[in-house]
Chains A and B, each alone.
Chain A
Amino acid sequence: MKQLIDIVWSQLVTLYQVLLHTFTKADTVQYPEEMPYLAPRYRGRIVLTRDPDGNERCVACNLCAVACPVDCIALQKTEDEDGRWYPEFFRINFSRCIMCGMCEEACPTYSIQLTPDFEMCEYDRQNMVYEKEHLLIDGPGKYPGYSFYHIAGKAIKDKDKGEARNEAQPIDVKSLLP
């Protein structure tokens, strides 16, 4: 008997508490009209950034393609006349991409970055394959001051070994002089 009363009472309490929800605000975000808040570090559409001088950051090291768990990144390394490496083509198949951000973590030059944009629906599946001209943006993205070739010890046209920022002069291993 007591159990029965308990059950009935609990049902009545449930009724009352659900009724109270008449006055709570709906959690719904009416998406197309009203954009949901996306954090700056939201993992959405992938972009390739440029360094502050306006050159491509990507050095075609292939680490992103290796890190990608779904193998959606394809690229080919080539070299320009200055000795800089860059990708001949850079292709991301977004119909495979799972927006995991592994490529961004793997990238040694902050080139590949994920942006808070997810609205990339297409009627044709082939349009989901983005080429380099679709991926490249004009700015430096999340890391404004960073330029890989100014820091790394790789020799390019107007910068020889030892001229990079914080880089010591190379040691001549064949000399005994201090």
Chain B
Amino acid sequence: MEELLIYVVIYGTLFGTFAGAAVLVWFERRLLGIWQDRLGPNRVGPFGIGLAIADIIKLFAKEDWVPPFADRFVFIFAPTAIVMAMLLGFAVVPYTAELHIADLNIGLLFFLGMTSLAVYSVLLGGLASNNKYALLGGLRSAAQMVSYEVFMGLSLMGVVMITGSFRLVDIVNAQAEHGWFVISQFLGFIVFLIAGIAESHRLPFDLPEAEHELIAGFHTEYSGMKFGMFMLGEYLGLILISSMIITIFFGGWLGPDFLPGLVWFGLKTFIVICFFILLRASIPRPRYDQLMSFGWKVMLPLTLVNLLVTGAVLLWL
């Protein structure tokens, strides 16, 4: 029975996230449409939801082309890396107290490691394309990683201090006692939210693919399903970051009893995803140097202050 459950969870995660990413493509465009006083894609199927399937068919039917000037092996490897890393990241997400693939005692570190690995995909893609726009995209991604990776980890340390564990299930259970960490760790939440957007290359921090400046940035040379993998990775990252925000700061599966934990988890994740899309709809992209100075001069001090205050409170109160 235990054995069966873990398989159910693994395949559920796999299909759930893939389907979620596909539907998100449609959902995001629809929501952006609503917020920009348009309708968004509404032709294929009810509410246009068939767009998700149509998009996938289109991507599969496209020519799978590797440019002759590209570094062939790295070029093909890069898009798979992001999907692999993001899917591995899902391994530690606790959907409920029982439903999770791996209950690692360093779950949080594992998650941070996997999202960091995903950045290599962008770097390698930009490098292997042998294209100046792609290279610039990869370069920006490297700079973004350097400036965001540091306090993305540090912002979570306050939570770890309170909980005394890197295990994500413990973190959620601790929120049953202490209340959601979004209240006690508000600074940490803000920093992690912003770092999470930067990590998953979502607007407003989509500098590596800034389409107005760099054509498509690191995936300029990609087409067909290789491009599809990058898109899939991006949306998987969006879902992953949202579910981590929920797990760490909004009490994961916790909620009033009239709905099961899994539903609460899904509902909260959905709301955070909507918030990410709202960010995309409203906030312009900062300049490259603005992003760096914002990261180092504002976010890092904020994180350190948060860390110090949390430590002091835990030590002396």
A120 an interface residue at 8 Å Cβ cutoff?
A: no
Contacts of B35 in A (CB 8 A): 18-19, 21-22
Measured CB to CB, the nearest residue on chain A to B32 is: A18
Contacts of B212 in A (CB 8 A): none
Q: Which of B34, B39, B283, B298 meets A4, CB within 8 Å?
A: B298
Check A15 against B34 for contact (C-beta < 8 Å): no
Check A26 against B37 for contact (C-beta < 8 Å): yes
A2-41 Cβ-contact flags toward B at 8 Å (1 or 0): 0010000001001101110110111110100000000000
B33 an interface residue at 8 Å Cβ cutoff?
A: yes
Measured CB to CB, the nearest residue on chain B to A16 is: B282
Check B283 against A15 for contact (C-beta < 8 Å): yes
Q: Is the interface of A mostly helix, strand, loop or mixed?
A: helix
With both chains docked as a complex, state the minimum distance between the C-beta of A79 and any C-beta of chain B, in angstroms.
55
Kindly state the separation between the CA atoms of A18 and B203 in the bound complex, as whole angstroms. 15
Contacts of A25 in B (CB 8 A): 37
Kindly state the separation between the CA atoms of A24 and B38 in the bound complex, as whole angstroms. 10
Contacts of B278 in A (CB 8 A): 15, 18-19
Q: Which of A4, A15, A21, A28 meets B279, CB within 8 Å?
A: A15
B105 an interface residue at 8 Å Cβ cutoff?
A: no
Contacts of A24 in B (CB 8 A): 37
Check A28 against B39 for contact (C-beta < 8 Å): yes
B145 an interface residue at 8 Å Cβ cutoff?
A: no
Contacts of A30 in B (CB 8 A): 39
Measured CB to CB, the nearest residue on chain A to B31 is: A22
Contacts of A26 in B (CB 8 A): 33-34, 37-39
With both chains docked as a complex, state the minimum distance between the C-beta of B133 and any C-beta of chain A, in angstroms.
28
Report if A14-B37 is in contact (Cβ < 8 Å); known contacts: A4-B298, A19-B278.
Answer: no
Number of A residues, CB within 8 Å of B: 15
B281 an interface residue at 8 Å Cβ cutoff?
A: yes
B16-57 Cβ-contact flags toward A at 8 Å (1 or 0): 000000000000000001111111000000000000000000
Contacts of A28 in B (CB 8 A): 38-39
Measured CB to CB, the nearest residue on chain A to B297 is: A4
With both chains docked as a complex, state the minimum distance between the C-beta of B38 and any C-beta of chain A, in angstroms.
6
Contacts of B281 in A (CB 8 A): 18
Report if A21-B39 is in contact (Cβ < 8 Å); known contacts: A4-B298, A15-B279, A15-B283.
Answer: no
Measured CB to CB, the nearest residue on chain B to A11 is: B283
With both chains docked as a complex, state the minimum distance between the C-beta of A25 and any C-beta of chain B, in angstroms.
8
Contacts of B38 in A (CB 8 A): 26-28
With both chains docked as a complex, state the minimum distance between the C-beta of A84 and any C-beta of chain B, in angstroms.
53
Interface residues of A (CB under 8 A from B): 4, 11, 14-15, 17-19, 21-22, 24-28, 30
Interface residues of B (CB under 8 A from A): 33-39, 278-279, 281-283, 298
25 contacts between A and B (CB under 8 A): A4-B298, A11-B283, A14-B282, A14-B283, A15-B279, A15-B283, A17-B282, A18-B35, A18-B278, A18-B281, A19-B35, A19-B278, A21-B34, A21-B36, A21-B37, A22-B34, A24-B37, A25-B37, A26-B33, A26-B37, A26-B38, A27-B37, A27-B38, A28-B39, A30-B39
The 3 closest A-B pairs by CB, nearest first: A18-B282, A28-B39, A14-B282
20 extra A-B contacts, CB within 8 A, seeds A18-B282, A24-B37: A4-B298, A11-B283, A15-B278, A15-B279, A18-B278, A18-B281, A21-B34, A21-B36, A21-B37, A22-B34, A22-B35, A25-B37, A26-B34, A26-B38, A26-B39, A27-B37, A27-B38, A28-B38, A28-B39, A30-B39
